[in-house]
Amino acid sequence: MSFVCPTSIQSRSLWLGEVDNWMDENYISNNFAHYGYKVTSVKIIRDKNTKTALGYGFVEFENAELAKEVLQNLNGKFIPGTNKTFKLNSASYSAGKVASMGNFPSKLIYIYINFIFFFV
């Protein structure tokens, strides 16, 4: 039995760069809301020991189409109240790893990808 690996998986998550230490999940979520976009979750990547932001995170939206729209419309626009701009990119998946928000559907994708690669 042979399975074909999908060439791309559309993600409902975006990578967010230029995250400062003073920014928290609520602040980031509110900035997307300022432009009319509802965020389902935000994950700032932090140092395990110091708990300081490592400068990036992930923002998840209701679906992949909305994430794509946000990427096209907000990347490079100014973050309200700052002189910084949104630095956005598509969150991508790789074998053995998932740019995950720690939620159940992402874990299912991880299992599915590993299952496919096991049988190829």
Tell me the domains of the chain and their CATH numbers.
Answer: 13-94 (3.30.70.330)
For Cα atoms 71, 9, 74, give the angle at the middle one, nearest 5 degrees.
5
CA 79/CA 3 separation, integer angstroms: 44
The per-residue pLDDT for range 100-119, each reduced to its tens digit, is 445 445 444 444 444 444 44
Tell the burial category of 91 from Cβ atoms under 10 Å away from its Cβ (0-12, 13-18, 19+): buried
pLDDT score, position 4: 39
Predicted TM-score (pTM) of this structure: 0.69
The per-residue pLDDT for range 46-67, each reduced to its tens digit, is 999 999 999 999 999 999 999 9
Under a CB-based contact definition with an 8 Å cutoff, are residues 63 and 14 in contact? no
